[in-house]
Structure 1
Amino acid sequence: MGLPNESGDLLSKMDSDASRRLFPLRFYESHLSISTRPDGRPLKSAREAFVGPGDVASADGSAMTKIGSTTMLAAIKMEIMTPSADKPDEGSIAVEFYMPPICSPLVRPGRPAEIAPVISKQLYDTIMSSGMIDLKELSLISGKAAWMVYLDIYCLDADGALFDAALYSAAAAFSFLQIPVVSLSEEGRLTIIPEEGNGNKSDKDVVNKGKRKLTISSLPFSLTCGLHKNYILPDPTSEEETLMETFVTVVLNSSGHLVSLYKPGGPVLAQTSTIQDCIALTRQRMTDLQKSLDEAITEMKVD
């Protein structure tokens, strides 16, 4: 008795899948016309986000984040360097974003993804312009030693909004970071003390007593919105990104102030209200991301 209905449902699904492949824009717009998106989200909703420690044993701080299916692993490694002569009391930060072939069928083995260096620079510029890190806090001995911070972010699954997920993982990794203990030898050489060796040094040998957290003044959070006709679609998937030609990425700090606005290509925006709407959506998103990160930090302290 149930066969006709089951057959009809199967045929309907086959028609839907065929339409999605053959006429993707028409398929997409048919969803927009009923105020939904192909993944079931309301038009102006972002995907669910997850954040937790990355559990990278060799890193001084790491984080795993997910926005929908987009997955990032961020790891921070700290080394001692000689500061530059013009900035003797400051450390330095280097950022690299990687897209290995496992993250997307569009990334070919042996060929670096073209977008990777673009996101690397965008991440570095955002971290520095947001004021999240005070480079003076990375100083160890003025003019002689400071921290060099290497932030590496690996995209494990690329399903849209890559910059947003990468920035979220960077913010989390810095929030989880513990600065290593450093000792000063009789020859004046600084070395990082392994955690298991902390008890073997006298107080006079140790430059910074015990691991400590980095003081973070304001975390940056971003939201990318795809613009299609009169629709503003936050946090697009990779499928949605292929159907849109205009994107706006808004970066706000923890206080809700605008850090940067990034619009790569596409037509000129005729209405300032579009930008204002994107900023308002970013403020809503920032609240959710900050709450998730605060909960993850609290869980780490409990553990």
Structure 2
Amino acid sequence: MALQYKTIHPVKYLRDFLAHNVRPDGRTLHKFRPMALNIKSISSADGSALVKIGNTSVMCGIKAELATPRAEEPDRGYIVPNVELSPLSSSKFRPGPPSEEAQVASQFVFDVLSNSCCLDTRNLCIAPDKLVWVLYCDLICLNYDGSILDACLMALMAAFTTVTLPDVEYDAEKSSTVVKSRRTALQVNSIPIATTHAVFDDNVLLLDPTGEEEDLASGTVTVVLCEGKLCSLFKPGGSPLSEQQLEGCVERAKKRVPAVLELFNATSPSTPQG
């Protein structure tokens, strides 16, 4: 009976729970779901990680390739993130070209990397104007149940901490490249951490929303913190939020940082503090 009621009146079903300050999965409005992290999940990749936030699972695999630097940044390598939301992860996605949500997620990750300075892409340069490393970062959603941006960023940063690159010698006169067997770990300067809220009925904020909660929401807002400071605020339209509500989102995001860093430190003792 409850399932039929939920199917026929999904908004009222959620409203009934929120009236008692609880959500359908038993959480309070401002409680996170459990998180899990596993690194080096793909042996053939140069770096990899698997992240779970509730029922949302994202796998990140990183492949490093040698390439010519971009003309506008001759002394820097570059990073190419790509988020894939496959039909296997959720019935809401269809086969074919990347969905709008996947493209938005890829751009979000790219923007955070650019704004946070978590990696210095000059460290990916081997010979200015000649040779750099390119890191292709594939983020594949294995199961979709909300807060996909949080999971993607967490998986990417965890994968970065596992990346090792071969030492390379470049001879400019002969234009020859020698790739050695010795490998050096990628230097990660900081860990940006994302936290998403869903806006319900224009004024109720649900922390770490599930997929169903996001579908019923009138908007979402994702706060990214790096080294305790606001790095990015991503709000793709929807209900407007007051300054006080946004400040509340930031404060709740700060409470997530220690838990995420604890996961990182448990898997990689040399992980920098975020």
**Where on the TM-score scale, by shorter chain, does this alignment land: which range?**
over 0.9
Whether the 8 Å CA contact 1:60–1:180 is kept in 2: the answer is no
With the length of structure 1 as denominator, give the TM-score of the two structures.
0.84
Question: Which residue is 1:168 aligned to?
Answer: 154
Q: Does 1:124 align with 2:110?
A: yes
Whether the 8 Å CA contact 2:126–2:170 is kept in 1: the answer is no
Match of 1:218 among 184, 190, 193: 190
Tell me the distance in 2 between the aligned counterparts of 1:99 and 1:234.
Answer: 22
Equivalent residue runs for 1:231-246 within 5 Å: 231-246=204-219
Q: Secondary structure at the match of 1:277?
A: helix
Match of 2:176 among 189, 197, 202: 189
Match of 2:31 among 42, 45, 63: 45
Quote the offset at 1:182 in angstroms: 2.6
Whether the 8 Å CA contact 1:54–1:74 is kept in 2: the answer is no
Quote the offset at 1:180 in angstroms: 2.1
Quote the offset at 1:192 in angstroms: 3.5
Q: Secondary structure at the match of 1:55?
A: coil
Question: Which residue is 1:22 aligned to?
Answer: 8
Tell me the distance in 1 between the aligned counterparts of 2:135 and 2:215.
Answer: 35
Seen in structure 2, the aligned counterparts of structure 1 residues 111 and 142 have a Cα distance that, compared at 3 Å, is closer
Q: Secondary structure at the match of 1:101?
A: coil
Judging by fraction of residues, say which structure has more helix.
1
Tell me the distance in 2 between the aligned counterparts of 1:120 and 1:187.
Answer: 38
Structure 1, unmatched stretches of 5+, are 1-14, 199-209
Whether the 8 Å CA contact 2:68–2:131 is kept in 1: the answer is yes
Question: Which residue is 1:264 aligned to?
Answer: 236
Tell me the distance in 1 between the aligned counterparts of 2:105 and 2:73.
Answer: 27
Q: Secondary structure at the match of 2:224?
A: strand
Tell me the distance in 1 between the aligned counterparts of 2:19 and 2:103.
Answer: 37
Tell me the distance in 2 between the aligned counterparts of 1:160 and 1:89.
Answer: 38
Q: Does 1:31 align with 2:17?
A: yes
Seen in structure 2, the aligned counterparts of structure 1 residues 258 and 107 have a Cα distance that, compared at 3 Å, is same
**Counterpart code for 1:241:** E
Question: Which residue is 1:95 aligned to?
Answer: 81
Equivalent residue runs for 1:53-202 within 5 Å: 53-110=39-96, 112-184=98-170, 187-193=174-180, 198=181
**Counterpart code for 1:212:** T
Q: Does 1:273 align with 2:244?
A: yes
Q: Secondary structure at the match of 1:223?
A: strand
Tell me the distance in 2 between the aligned counterparts of 1:232 and 1:267.
Answer: 11
Whether the 8 Å CA contact 1:71–1:158 is kept in 2: the answer is yes
Quote the offset at 1:85 in angstroms: 4.2
**Aligned residues: percent identity?**
33
**Quick check: which has more Rg, 1 or 2?**
1
**Counterpart code for 1:105:** S
**CA-atom RMSD in angstroms:** 1.9
Tell me the distance in 2 between the aligned counterparts of 1:135 and 1:184.
Answer: 18
Judging by fraction of residues, say which structure has more strand.
2
Tell me the distance in 2 between the aligned counterparts of 1:30 and 1:291.
Answer: 35
Tell me the distance in 2 between the aligned counterparts of 1:154 and 1:33.
Answer: 36
Quote the offset at 1:249 in angstroms: 0.7
**Counterpart code for 2:217:** M
Aligned residues: 269
Q: Secondary structure at the match of 1:103?
A: coil
Quote the offset at 1:299 in angstroms: 11
